[in-house]
A and B are shown apart, each in its own frame.
Chain A
Amino acid sequence: MPDLVPPPALNHLSHLKQLEAESIHILREVVAEFDNPVMLYSVGKDSAVMVRLAQKAFFPGKLPFPLLHVDTTWKFREMITFRDAFCKEHGFDLLVHTNTAPEAVGMNPFDHGSQKHTTVMKTHALLQALEKWGFDAAFGGARRDEEKSRAKERVYSFRDKLGQWDPKNQRPELWSLYNGKINKGESIRVFPLSNWTELDVWQYIHLESIPIVPLYFAAKRPVVERDGALIMVDDARMRLEPGEVPAEMTVRFRTLGDYPLTGAIESTATTLPEIIREMLLTKHSERQGRMIDHDEKGSMETKKREGYF
């Protein structure tokens, strides 16, 4: 018999162990009850945690579903490099989808604004991908602590045939009894990290030594300051305004997305404990760096109604 891991103290699972067990329960439940699940893989820290939890849920088996990355073509280059190496190393079945419909031709965040760009390249692209492969359940890494409208999100978020979310028509969710019954053409989004906070995610990454994209750590990067945000000049497509000159600054990112829409913060944190320390002592919420949330009042709720994660 192999060496056994000592059991946790009776009647005391630490909060991370509790959260982990709860997430594993959700992952297994969906795989047991749905025909064709998929995991949305955004390459960010929450996805990293979600993938690790899935590995744990189905150990010693492989992931019983593919990973899906919706690529807007404006992701940081380092994210794509990391994604490909990570999936290859673990033998994950990676699907990548980009919106190539006529509406998406020439779409970019500079000319079309963050809102329209996000709707077409993320929301529409996601719906296309779910339809293309016929997925009936999609795991997402969203957390309830991210934003006010997320606080009311169910673990199983029911979407109609158009992939839309109706906040008034969500199913009551009691205990850990999830209702996975759907009719043909309908689907659910599932959020195994619902009860995790940003701190929980970082701490888990630290404890579990989960690899993450280097962009989360501070390094010298070329940035311009625009509308109060530090935008990294990641490739030649970055449009500089007259007078803007990229400057090398020591920065890192709290969240990752499309590089022209993701603000960096000045930081010298190059280790996970340093990142956590900064986060705990900081005065700004995580989503502040995301330009897409601030476009209009209740904007996350509006996006979700349309089918955004």
Chain B
Amino acid sequence: MREQDLIAVDIEGYLRTHEQKEILRLLTAGSVDDGKSTLIGRLLHDSNMVYDDQMAALRKDSAKKSSADGEIDYSLLVDGLLSEREQGITIDVAYRYFATPKRKFIIADTPGHEQYTRNMATGASTADLAVILVDARYGVLPQTRRHSFIASLLGIKHIVVAINKMDLRGYEEAVFHEIKGAYAQLAVRLGFKDVHYLPLSALRGDNVVTKSAAMPWYEGPPLLEHLETVPLTRGGNTGPLRFPVQYVLRPNLDFRGFSGTLASGTVRCGDRIMALPSRKTSTVSRIVTFDGDLAEAHADMAVTLTLADEIDVSRGDTLVHEEALPRVGRSIEAMMVWMNERPMTPRSAYLIKQGTKVASVEVHAIHERVDVNTLEPHPAMKLGLNDIGRVTLTASRALLFDAYADNHGTGAFILIDRLTNATLGAGMILGPGTDEAEAIGATGEGRVTVAERQARLGQRPAALFFVGGDPALREALAHGVERRLWDDGYTAHLLDPRDLGALRGFTELGLISLVLGDGGDDPTRPPVDAGAARVFEVQCGAGEAGESIEAIVARLRDGGIIR
């Protein structure tokens, strides 16, 4: 029975079926002229989601725009804001909704314009499936690579390559196979496992909702049927339990519950659980919901847990099973999508929000920037708006995390500007940081180590001996270096040669010590116990005879003391 008929004769029956529908979240990615809005408009229209009054407005608007020879311009159904109607392009992520007898769909409609990588990343973050539009006239373009790369970066598992405007290439099978072959190479490179290729014409409606009569050589289902039937790999339930505590519910003295949404896994009454980062353990006594207590809860369910013991748990903590712990540490390596005009630079400090936890974080290093059109990595000093790169961050407190590839809930984060509060970028954790920052004690317990101090200061200890020239010149140069390092975010201090005995202590503190020679021909030089500090000799003197501040800073950078 058709859905419309079922509604008419047996609404209760329809409602029971409709209740069981699942949601498919999809993303459409394409460039400005790929016909993306037309495709979405067509899906909405052909699946009966457009009402008469909307259709009337659409006819009126289409006529006014006098677009494709008096035909209805379906893209007008979805181009929302005044500002973009004026520009004729979509400038922000828009969400559309429609349902068929089989599934409910949420479409993230993201613009394909060059500078809008951030919008696509936003839409992709919640998508199960991506429809990548390719113009049959042009084939796989740099933007196709860009869209596909972002889809892979954000971990979208299902890809549909919609080869659009087949009507403009005579509906030829050869065109379809040529583009399919070109994309297949890219798919391998990006590690896509489920890629589906579809020839269509959104404008003419070929293979959108109904099978195209013009392309009998294509034997697969039309787009909508594919979307209705593609099996979804969510797999969140089979992963390890991750329950980020969102809110401590204390309505009265007798009830203390921990509310949150399971990021992954399953929790059952009676489960032994561990609270992180405190590592205190207890047992789940109840899984409380408004609709009654549950015996178990799965990924994506919002519940409240009560524990058998009064252990200290607060927002930002995570409850896990002892046998499957996440990574704990302050240093993370991540892929970063930068979304702000002010670039991300090394040593900058931001707020990180990961799960329900907010902490301070510093950019330890920017390793590389990925060219989204060629997918090649390049060395980079900063990440600008819409740049994607690999970075290492050091947090002020221990973070609990998994690799994003394993667990989106505990592997994703955003960075927030401490002053403007803007959301600056989105990150996907690859793993623990790989350099010295990793030496930081995982739980942050015990004595503060030399490595921790170095990580905090972002520098290695060094001793610079200023020799040659007259004392006033030496002191002036040392002060100049001190100021310059300070302004660049490093910590150096002047040390009188008579206090050289303290040098080892300063080294352990991770400082850069600037030691003034005592003048004359007998510079105070080793034997001095500089400990782990690298020792530099700085020649002072007027003009060519002495080193410049620039040269000294460059030596420190080359020597790995500063970045």
A10 close to B237 (CB less than 8 A): yes
A-B contact pairs, 8 of them (CB 8 A): A8-B301, A25-B302, A29-B246, A60-B255, A167-B83, A168-B83, A182-B421, A199-B99
Contact with A along B117-132 (1 / 0, CB 8 A): 0110110011000000
B83 close to A283 (CB less than 8 A): no
- A145 smallest CB distance to B (angstroms): 5
List chain B residues, Cβ under 8 A from A187: none
B52 close to A283 (CB less than 8 A): yes
**Extra A-B contacts (6), CB below 8 Å, given A16-B19, A199-B18:** A177-B413, A179-B416, A274-B11, A282-B51, A283-B52, A297-B82
A8 close to B298 (CB less than 8 A): yes
A31 close to B247 (CB less than 8 A): yes
Instruction: Tell me the residues in window 59-97 of chain B with beta carbons closer than 8 Å to chain A beta carbons.
Output: 78-83, 85, 91-97
List chain B residues, Cβ under 8 A from A181: 351, 416, 421
Chain A CB within 8 A of B414 CB: yes
B247 close to A149 (CB less than 8 A): no
B288 close to A60 (CB less than 8 A): yes
Residue ID in chain B nearest A173 by CB atoms: B122
* A6 and B297 alpha carbons, distance in the complex (Å): 10
B21 close to A61 (CB less than 8 A): no
Contact with A along B1-20 (1 / 0, CB 8 A): 00010011001101100111
Contact of A149 among B7, B81, B286, B295 (CB under 8 A): B81
Shortest Cβ-Cβ A-B pairs, 10 listed: A61-B251, A148-B80, A181-B421, A174-B125, A24-B302, A56-B290, A283-B52, A285-B51, A59-B290, A298-B82
Instruction: Tell me the residues in window 225-263 of chain B with beta carbons closer than 8 Å to chain A beta carbons.
Output: 234-237, 246-247, 249-251, 255, 259-261
Total interface residues in chain B, CB < 8 Å:
87
Contact of A195 among B4, B20, B97, B260 (CB under 8 A): B97
* A297 and B60 alpha carbons, distance in the complex (Å): 12
Contact with A along B89-113 (1 / 0, CB 8 A): 0011111110100001010010000
Instruction: Tell me the residues in window 281-313 of chain B with beta carbons closer than 8 Å to chain A beta carbons.
Output: 286, 288-298, 300-302, 304
- A309 smallest CB distance to B (angstroms): 17
Instruction: Tell me the residues in window 401-418 of chain B with beta carbons closer than 8 Å to chain A beta carbons.
Output: 408-409, 412-414, 416
A18 close to B300 (CB less than 8 A): yes
A2, A151, A195, A207, most chain B CB atoms within 10 A? A151
B426 close to A32 (CB less than 8 A): no
Instruction: Tell me the residues in window 172-202 of chain A with beta carbons closer than 8 Å to chain B beta carbons.
Output: 172-177, 179, 181-183, 194-195, 197, 199-200
B421 close to A28 (CB less than 8 A): no
Chain A CB within 8 A of B315 CB: yes
B298 close to A14 (CB less than 8 A): no
A58 close to B302 (CB less than 8 A): no
- B3 smallest CB distance to A (angstroms): 9
Residue ID in chain A nearest B52 by CB atoms: A283
Chain B CB within 8 A of A7 CB: yes
List chain A residues, Cβ under 8 A from B382: none
Residue ID in chain B nearest A198 by CB atoms: B97
* A177 and B304 alpha carbons, distance in the complex (Å): 19
Contact of B297 among A7, A55, A177, A285 (CB under 8 A): A7
Contact of A32 among B21, B247, B339 (CB under 8 A): B247
B414 close to A179 (CB less than 8 A): yes
B82 close to A174 (CB less than 8 A): no
List chain A residues, Cβ under 8 A from B300: 13, 18, 21
* A262 and B437 alpha carbons, distance in the complex (Å): 63
- B105 smallest CB distance to A (angstroms): 10
B315 close to A174 (CB less than 8 A): no
List chain B residues, Cβ under 8 A from A21: 261, 300-302
Chain B CB within 8 A of A234 CB: no
Contact of B118 among A28, A172, A281 (CB under 8 A): A172
Chain A CB within 8 A of B214 CB: no
* A22 and B261 alpha carbons, distance in the complex (Å): 9
- A151 smallest CB distance to B (angstroms): 4
B247 close to A207 (CB less than 8 A): no
Chain A CB within 8 A of B22 CB: yes
- A263 smallest CB distance to B (angstroms): 12
B83 close to A57 (CB less than 8 A): no
List chain A residues, Cβ under 8 A from B15: 203, 206, 273, 276
List chain B residues, Cβ under 8 A from A179: 353, 414, 416, 421, 423
Chain B CB within 8 A of A1 CB: yes
Contact of A59 among B94, B304, B409 (CB under 8 A): B304
Chain B CB within 8 A of A236 CB: no
- B392 smallest CB distance to A (angstroms): 20
B234 close to A11 (CB less than 8 A): yes
Contact of B125 among A32, A175, A285 (CB under 8 A): A175
Chain A CB within 8 A of B522 CB: no
A298 close to B81 (CB less than 8 A): yes
Residue ID in chain A nearest B255 by CB atoms: A60
B412 close to A277 (CB less than 8 A): no
* A273 and B94 alpha carbons, distance in the complex (Å): 30
**Taking beta carbons and an 8 Å cutoff, which residues of A are in contact with B?**
1-8, 10-22, 24-25, 28-29, 31-32, 55-62, 144-145, 148-149, 151-152, 167-168, 170-177, 179, 181-183, 194-195, 197, 199-200, 203, 206-207, 273-274, 276-277, 280-285, 288, 297-298, 301-302
* A63 and B489 alpha carbons, distance in the complex (Å): 47
Contact of A172 among B52, B91, B122 (CB under 8 A): B122
List chain B residues, Cβ under 8 A from A13: 22, 298, 300-301
Contact of B18 among A28, A31, A149, A203 (CB under 8 A): A203
Contact of A151 among B85, B95, B247 (CB under 8 A): B95
- A156 smallest CB distance to B (angstroms): 10
A59 close to B408 (CB less than 8 A): no
* A291 and B551 alpha carbons, distance in the complex (Å): 72
List chain A residues, Cβ under 8 A from B408: 175
List chain A residues, Cβ under 8 A from B8: 277, 281
Contact of B414 among A14, A174, A200 (CB under 8 A): A174
Chain A CB within 8 A of B491 CB: no
B289 close to A32 (CB less than 8 A): no
Contact of B80 among A151, A174, A175, A284 (CB under 8 A): A151
Chain A CB within 8 A of B54 CB: yes
List chain A residues, Cβ under 8 A from B301: 8, 13, 17, 21
* A197 and B259 alpha carbons, distance in the complex (Å): 26
- B221 smallest CB distance to A (angstroms): 22
Chain A CB within 8 A of B32 CB: no
A14 close to B51 (CB less than 8 A): no
- B546 smallest CB distance to A (angstroms): 48
B426 close to A172 (CB less than 8 A): yes
B294 close to A4 (CB less than 8 A): yes
Also in contact, A2 and B292, with CB within 8 A (given A13-B300, A32-B315, A152-B80) = yes
Also in contact, A28 and B81, with CB within 8 A (given A195-B106, A197-B97, A281-B4) = no
- B13 smallest CB distance to A (angstroms): 10
Chain A CB within 8 A of B521 CB: no
Chain A CB within 8 A of B476 CB: no
Also in contact, A177 and B251, with CB within 8 A (given A24-B302, A149-B80) = no
Contact with A along B342-366 (1 / 0, CB 8 A): 0000000001011010000000000
Chain A CB within 8 A of B445 CB: no
* A179 and B79 alpha carbons, distance in the complex (Å): 26
B356 close to A284 (CB less than 8 A): no
List chain A residues, Cβ under 8 A from B23: 15, 18-19
Also in contact, A57 and B259, with CB within 8 A (given A18-B300, A175-B408) = yes
Residue ID in chain B nearest A171 by CB atoms: B423
List chain B residues, Cβ under 8 A from A207: 19
Contact of A301 among B81, B247, B294, B353 (CB under 8 A): B81
A10 close to B298 (CB less than 8 A): yes
* A302 and B81 alpha carbons, distance in the complex (Å): 10
B52, B80, B295, most chain A CB atoms within 10 A? B80
Chain A CB within 8 A of B558 CB: no
Also in contact, A273 and B293, with CB within 8 A (given A14-B22, A28-B247, A297-B82) = no
